[in-house]
Structure 1
């Protein structure tokens, strides 16, 4: 009986440690939700080299270009619509560092995907797919098509 009690105690401690480890991983992921930058081999569309291109899927897509303090510009894009942002690299007084996406009619909805703003002279092409309940956003940094 004593052996069973010890074994149950060891199993409980191991299970607890596993839950803590999984929780720490989830919290670490939530603390840094910005996806790594992906550079595309395909150049940006002519005339849109330094812009952000955001294409919504079957749902409303909210795009927020934000600086390090979380301040910035946002736009709501209707289903099956493409939007070009000329403010991807900011203005004289504001410089964004991240692009965050949410879905639905509420522009303050939780972020479903985030991507770093590419360096100067580069654009970004982001496409939303999936469903509103299970959105998928994929972004690629685009280089200039000019030599």
Structure 2
């Protein structure tokens, strides 16, 4: 196959369109960083009504329970640990609306996953997997136990 100026220009144009399409997908994802709520069929763990349940993998996971102003609580959870948060729905007059997660010991590290706080009486059950370099967090909303 002979490379002519016309073929080079067409190949460059096709590559440019592909880069723009991928960039638009990434920007659309960044514009709406909170994952949609997923409702699980199994009930929450007994004895932990209204609490968030966070299970970590092979790395430290920092959980940020925040209100609409970005205020709230952050908790670093060690590897291979399950932590129940009594402040999932807020405390006092503050009502949390989102749970955000960052990986590693830097509590101010980049957010790797966000999930909406479920309605009162329901809990978020979140599990971290993957590695600190490529973390994966999955959450489900669970109904009250019993």
- Contact 1:49 1:143 (8 Å CA) reproduced: no
Q: In the comparison of the two structures, how many residue pairs are matched?
A: 144
CA deviation profile, 1:41-81 (whole Å, cap 9, x unmatched): 11011121211011111111100011122221100111111
The structure where strand makes up a greater share of residues is: 2
Equivalent residue number for residue 5 of structure 1: 5
Task: Give unpaired runs (5+ residues) of structure 2.
Answer: none
Taking structure 1 as the reference length, the TM-score comes to: 0.89
3-state SS, counterpart of residue 95 of structure 1 = coil
Taking structure 2 as the reference length, the TM-score comes to: 0.90
Equivalent residue number for residue 48 of structure 1: 48
1:69 equivalent in alignment to 2:65: no
- Contact 1:49 1:142 (8 Å CA) reproduced: no
Q: How many angstroms apart in 2 are the aligned matches of 1:133 and 1:8? A: 37
Write out aligned runs for 1:17-32 (5 A).
17-32=17-32
Q: Considering only aligned residues, what root-mean-square deviation do their CA atoms show, in Å?
A: 1.7
